[in-house]
Amino acid sequence: MKKILKEFLISALLFFGTLYVTLQVDWMKALHLYPTIVGDKLSEWVWKISEMSLRKVNDHDVCAPIDSLVSEMCKANGISTADIHVVITRDDEVNAYATVGNHLIINTALIEKMKNESQLCAVIAHEMAHFRLGHIQSAVRQQTIITVFLALITGNGNSNMLANLTNKIISNSITRAKEDEADEQGARYLHAMHLDPMEMANTLETFESYGVLSYFMDHSDSKKRAEHIRKMHFKKNGPYQQILSEEAWVRLKKACL
């Protein structure tokens, strides 16, 4: 019995030791795997694995209004909609995050908690800014190799675990400075599309009031981030617009309950 326990402990130690060492190295960089086609293909494959753990929402009442908001944001900011792939998932965690292959994941619980379309746009703008500022790409390279490694040793069996780890690695690589940058850039995106940029600050405070831990606010306290945004100055850009009709907004929220 003692021998079995000893063998088990040694195996566990070896496994976690190898995993720990693997996490410390930027393997894509070390192996010169980017920006090659191999890197892209691997990312694609990692997305396919992560995708399996998501409960995608295809409901028209959810997808159509989100599409309108994203298209409007892209148009006003000179971003191609083909560069951002929005995926809405049925999930109770109040969360949205940017991940491999320019996929922007928005959970239904987050949509349900947002007070108005501008706050929802603030979340989308923040994540889009992470893509545009190159914050996600280096983390994606890193986690791609780790996922491949894990898939090989676990036999690709646990897509949930792989997807969670993927998102954790990306999230952990985003520093406080990068969060501030994404908030600022996001506020500019809102301003360009004739929404109140200060909704970025309000949204951060909304998150604070729910006391939720999410990738959106993991790395710094949202009060300080909100203050940072309130110090920004924006030129007048005409009246603020409303993109969705009141009915469409109510239907969207209801479908996310």
The least distance separating Zn ion from the CB of residue 186, rounded to whole angstroms, comes to 9
Query: Among 220, 192, 222, 218, which residue's Cα sits nearest to residue 204?
Result: 222
User: How far is residue 127's CA from residue 145's CA, in Å, rounded to a whole number?
Assistant: 23
Residues 177-236 that bind Zn ion (CB under 5 A): 179, 182
User: How far is residue 43's CA from residue 28's CA, in Å, rounded to a whole number?
Assistant: 11
Residues 166-185 that bind Zn ion (CB under 5 A): 179, 182
The least distance separating Zn ion from the CB of residue 182, rounded to whole angstroms, comes to 5
105/182 with CB nearer Zn ion: 182
With contacts defined by CB under 5 A, how many residues of the chain interact with Zn ion? 2
Query: Among 163, 170, 190, 179, which residue's Cα sits nearest to residue 216?
Result: 179
142/251 with CB nearer Zn ion: 142
Residues forming beta bridges with residue 56, ordered by sequence position: 89
217/243 with CB nearer Zn ion: 217
145/204 with CB nearer Zn ion: 204
**Beta carbons of 89 and 111 less than 8 angstroms apart:** no
The least distance separating Zn ion from the CB of residue 49, rounded to whole angstroms, comes to 23
Q: How far is CA 97 from CA 60, 106, 247, in A?
A: 22, 7, 27
145/182 with CB nearer Zn ion: 182
**Beta carbons of 135 and 182 less than 8 angstroms apart:** yes
User: Phi first, then psi: what are they for 50, rounded to 5°?
Assistant: -60, -40
The least distance separating Zn ion from the CB of residue 93, rounded to whole angstroms, comes to 15
The least distance separating Zn ion from the CB of residue 51, rounded to whole angstroms, comes to 21
Binding site for Zn ion (CB under 5 A): 179, 182
